[in-house]
Structure 1
Amino acid sequence: MEQWIRKYIRASGAPDITSLRAALATTPPDQLLQLITTIRDSKSYTALLLAISRGHPEIAHLLLTPLREIADELLFEKDEGGHTALHWAVEKGDRELVELILHTVSSGKKYKLIAVKNGVGYTALTKAAVSGYTEIVETLLISLSVEQRVSLLNIQTNRYLNTALHRAAYSGHTAALRSMLTSIPPDRVSALLSINNRDSRTPLEEAESWGRKESVELLKSWKRPVLAVPVTPAFWKFAALQDADNQRATALAQAERRIGLLQDEAEQHAAALANQREESQQQIAALQEANNQMTAELANQREESQQQIVALQEANNQMTADMAAMMERLNRLDIYLRTPTDTNETGDQFHEPLG
């Protein structure tokens, strides 16, 4: 995995997804997080920041998916322009990647991550409002409580003191404006629409200044007495979207817990198999040793038997030779006994000596 990250950081072309998948298959999440956090390019970019900023969302998905709720430090990392991974995901208009990041960060850190300012004071919401990414605006706000939404919409940029509402009004992104306004109770809207930027303009005045007619009409419709503003159907729709998002997050957490249990069971099963394999290997080794001893004993017995056979053969040969010598003597004796005798002068019989 380390080799892949270093290779990817040095590369300028399309990444090798196949080798990344293979590396991830053998890399535990905590080790993966450590590698992504520590290995950087010359500008201190992590592999995650490079993947998103280079336009490789598939790499970001593969890197982030195993790191749910353990990647806070990584997600708060900034590049030289002060951009986090979330800033870059919004910059690319990638709603799915924005959702993945929001589901990866710890639940208690979501607001803080969305509220992080880049070098010019833009939050992720501000960037979405500037670009008119309505779905991303809704995705960011849905993940927060009502009070957190209000707080986020109150944040002003460093230099021009614009809120996200100012930037959407300036750019004429009426749909994004509507999503932000309907995400909070109507009685909280008036205060937000009264915020002045550095030029002492409210969001309505900013829209009027730049001739954004649709945005002007929308903002004027909200300039009514607070008591006369009902809770609009759009607000309830937004609340329903938030409930659906919460339910999906809960289902995801439950699925992850089930996966964790299955992984634990798999690890226990693997450990049991490893023990069985070790016991089998020990038994095989014992059998091999016993076989080796038996083979050695058989070899010794064979050698002893061969020595005995040789000794028996020698004894048999000697016995055969002795018998042959005895037969020869017997034959000579038989000839001797059959040979006619002679008498000497005294009348005694004598024989030739047997030799």
Structure 2
Amino acid sequence: METWIRKYITASEAPDITSLRASLTTTLPDQLLQLITTIRGSKSYTALLLAISRDHPVVTQLLLTPLRGIAVELLFEKVEVGRTALHRAVLKGDRELVELILHTVSSGKKYELIAVKDGVGWTALTLAALIGYTEIVETLLISLSVEQRVSLLNIQTTYYRDTALHKAAYIGHTAALQTMLTSIPPDKVSALLSMKNRDSRTLLEYAESEGEKESVELLKSWQQPLLAALTNQGEELAESKQQIGALQEEDNRKTAELANQREELTKLKEELVESKQQISDLQEADNRKTAELASQREESQQQVVALQEANNQMTADMAAMMERLNKLDIYLRTPTDTDETGDQLHEPQG
């Protein structure tokens, strides 16, 4: 593979495709990338850049295909006038080559590669728009997300501050201009149409100054619905402001109600704290009275016991007295002597 590359760099005749195919079958992608990167010709051109410059699409395809995903640094490399391989592919107008280069880098690097500026601040899209390569413009944009397209269309050249849209409008490439405008959402177009270059000219003003009637008509056709949309948006904005005002009033009212409710809640909390204190005081009083009642009950029980004992003593005393009375009664009724008449006489008690 090294021998083939060295011959290709120095040769002036057509390349030996058969030998290239054979060499590629025995060369690993990493080895191929190293060889292409290190072996260079005049102006530090690699074999890849020479293949693009010499219009050798087969050589370009055979060299690039094995390098998919690993040729990032090689494709970002700038040479003469600060242009990359993608810049040169666009200048050649080779859509297939542009697709191949974009296919070689990862999706996360596509935007960075397309947005690379050359020595005068032109991206690959700027070149395609200026020359009028509508299909290449479409190829470049379709590989990006909507946000990336908007960002790319906002890039301005270093000196004239032109965007790719300015270049297409200036030359009168209406197909490329239309492709770029339709690649993004309508709500993003207005900002692009109002962008100004170094001469403070918008796209429409730029096209009018150059007498590009088709570009002027196209841009006006875009401006009219945008103006109508802006008018509608203004009316909708006014209505939205009214709604916002009404909502703000309602919010203020609810805020005031909430403040009142919070104030009432604060009062209730204070009352609750006071009630809790009262309950606590009542509980303490109840506990105190309960203790006093328990003490009184204990004293009463003691008095009852004492009275019971006294009652029992009195009952015993009464029983003893009754027993004595009974004995006395019996004694009084017992005969001790008789008188002359024969009646019983009793001895007086005591």
Give me the TM-score of the superposition, normalised by structure 1: 0.63
Say whether 1:94 aligns with 2:94. Answer: yes
Where do residues 176-195 of structure 1 align in structure 2 (5 Å cutoff)? Answer: 176-195=176-195
Residue equivalent to 2:81: 81
Amino acid at match of 2:218: L
CA distance in 2, matches of 1:53, 1:173: 25
Residue equivalent to 2:175: 175
Deviation at 1:226, TM superposition (A): 3.8
Residue equivalent to 2:165: 165
**Once superposed, which parts of structure 1, at least 4 consecutive aligned residues long, lie more than 6 Å away?**
none
Deviation at 1:50, TM superposition (A): 1.1
Deviation at 1:229, TM superposition (A): 5.3
Residue equivalent to 1:216: 216
Residue equivalent to 2:71: 71
CA distance in 2, matches of 1:27, 1:3: 12
Q: Which runs of 5+ in 2 are unaligned?
A: 231-350
Q: Contact conserved, 1:111 with 1:144, CA < 8 A, in 2?
A: yes
Residue equivalent to 2:51: 51
- Between 181-190 and 7-16, the greater mean CA deviation after superposition: 7-16
Q: Which runs of 5+ in 1 are unaligned?
A: 231-355
Residue equivalent to 2:26: 26
Residue equivalent to 2:137: 137
Q: Match of 2:79, SS?
A: coil
Residue equivalent to 1:37: 37
Deviation at 1:42, TM superposition (A): 3.0
Where do residues 227-266 of structure 1 align in structure 2 (5 Å cutoff)? Answer: 228=228
Q: Match of 2:80, SS?
A: coil
Deviation at 1:177, TM superposition (A): 0.2
Q: Match of 2:136, SS?
A: helix
CA distance in 1, matches of 2:178, 2:103: 25
Q: Contact conserved, 1:156 with 1:163, CA < 8 A, in 2?
A: yes
CA distance in 2, matches of 1:139, 1:167: 18
Deviation at 1:106, TM superposition (A): 1.4
Q: Match of 1:13, SS?
A: coil
Cα 1:226–1:17 shift into 2, 3 Å: same
CA distance in 2, matches of 1:20, 1:220: 53
Deviation at 1:173, TM superposition (A): 0.3
Amino acid at match of 1:71: A
Amino acid at match of 1:120: V
Q: Contact conserved, 1:49 with 1:79, CA < 8 A, in 2?
A: no
Q: Contact conserved, 1:186 with 1:229, CA < 8 A, in 2?
A: no
CA distance in 1, matches of 2:228, 2:16: 59
CA distance in 2, matches of 1:5, 1:204: 50
Residue equivalent to 1:61: 61
CA distance in 2, matches of 1:227, 1:166: 20
Amino acid at match of 2:139: T
CA distance in 1, matches of 2:95, 2:155: 22
CA distance in 2, matches of 1:71, 1:105: 7
CA distance in 1, matches of 2:215, 2:130: 13
CA distance in 1, matches of 2:171, 2:126: 12
Deviation at 1:223, TM superposition (A): 1.1
Q: Contact conserved, 1:168 with 1:176, CA < 8 A, in 2?
A: yes
Deviation at 1:211, TM superposition (A): 1.1
Deviation at 1:225, TM superposition (A): 5.5
CA distance in 2, matches of 1:61, 1:31: 17
Amino acid at match of 2:52: I
CA distance in 2, matches of 1:176, 1:51: 27
Amino acid at match of 2:217: E
Q: Contact conserved, 1:187 with 1:227, CA < 8 A, in 2?
A: no
Amino acid at match of 2:120: V
Residue equivalent to 1:155: 155
* 1:261-286 C-alpha deviation (Å, 9 max, x unpaired): xxxxxxxxxxxxxxxxxxxxxxxxxx
Amino acid at match of 2:131: S
Q: Match of 1:81, SS?
A: helix
Instruction: Report sequence identity in percent.
Output: 80
Amino acid at match of 1:171: I
CA distance in 1, matches of 2:169, 2:39: 41
CA distance in 2, matches of 1:127, 1:191: 22
